[in-house]
Amino acid sequence: MVPHIWCNGCGNGVILGEFLRALDEMSYDVNKIVVVSGIGCIGRISGYTNTDSFHTTHGRALALAVGLKAANPNLKPVVMSGDGDLFAIGGNHFIHAARRNVDIAVICSNNFNYGMTGGQSGPTTPSGAYTTTTLYGNIEHPLNLVQFAAACGAIYVARWTAIHVRRIRESIKKAINKKGFSFVEIITACPEEYGRRNKIPDPIQNMKWLRDASIVESSMDPKDAVIEPDKIVVGEFVDVEKPEYTDLLWGKAQSIQVRLDKEGKLSNVTL
């Protein structure tokens, strides 16, 4: 299957490489990992991993992963999919898998558009950006995936760009090791579809943009993790523990309520 199908300058190869390096360094039992992807350029990733893997229908990667985990809690589904797949057609599945805290590591390649189908706008396309469906500039407000994942209840939330290779690897390791719903957003360049229409057609120019715009702000409130034309806040934003859905389902954990005290600290109360 190698060389892969992704374009020059696309960050998907970086995601694949760092995922494989993470598994290798963790000495993780790959028989327990199931790579589940949706449809789109990044969706092809499930074909490149020597694990059990599913290239599912558009938007349904998380639905399939939840089913896998509920039926066989010994497995660790790793969902790798795109901004369009996870947050447009699949947005509803994201909300409820995160809310239920199902033990799944979600790695999202956010290239701000539907790369595979010719560069249409999607839920993360920045306001004013040009795409094949926003010829006069995007009039919509984009979804901030870090804020969204945190609000839905993810227990680990991080954002990096495709130039933060070592940070991506460490975050993927954390996401796989956490028992619950983890979310790692990776901003990836898409020179061919997004870059070409937004005055950054060259792969190197794209990488420089990601480098110059990124500001590492770990432990920042997710609501402040903005993405602006010249500023992409990256880092780890959520890292908490909560009972996991399939443990509750199979009677291995007790339900707890997470409460916010007057100083704004989270505390757990067993019900």
Distance CA(140)–CA(133), nearest Å, equals: 12
The only residue of 15, 16, 35, 42 in contact with ligand TPP, by rule CB under 6 A = 42
The tokens describing 243, both together, are 């009972």
Q: Who's near 208: CB < 8 A, 6+ residues apart? A: none
264 Ramachandran zone, left/alpha/beta (phi>0; psi -120 to 50) = left
The only residue of 45, 63, 104, 116 in contact with ligand TPP, by rule CB under 6 A = 116
Quick check: 63 binds ligand TPP (CB under 6 A)? no
Residue 77 or 115 with smaller CB distance to ligand TPP: 115
Quick check: 37 binds ligand TPP (CB under 6 A)? no
The only residue of 9, 11, 77, 115 in contact with ligand TPP, by rule CB under 6 A = 115
103 Ramachandran zone, left/alpha/beta (phi>0; psi -120 to 50) = beta
The tokens describing 16, both together, are 């694949």
Calculate the alpha carbon distances from 57 to 30, 63, 86, 231 in Å. 24, 10, 11, 34
Quick check: 191 binds ligand TPP (CB under 6 A)? no
**Candidates 34-42, 147-155, 161-169, 179-187; binding stretch for ligand TPP (CB under 6 A):** 34-42
Interface pattern 78-97 for Mg ion (x via CB under 5 A): ----xxx-------------
Element (H, E) at 164: none
Element (H, E) at 91: helix 91-100
In the list ligand TPP, Mg ion, none, the entry touching 58 (Cβ below 5 to 8 angstroms by class) is ligand TPP
The only residue of 19, 48, 94, 114 in contact with ligand TPP, by rule CB under 6 A = 114
Distance CA(246)–CA(138), nearest Å, equals: 40
Distance CA(56)–CA(245), nearest Å, equals: 22
Residue 42 or 78 with smaller CB distance to ligand TPP: 42
In the list Mg ion, ligand TPP, none, the entry touching 41 (Cβ below 5 to 8 angstroms by class) is ligand TPP
Residues near Mg ion (CB under 5 A): 82-84, 111, 115
Residues near ligand TPP (CB under 6 A): 39-42, 58, 81-85, 109, 111, 113-117, 122
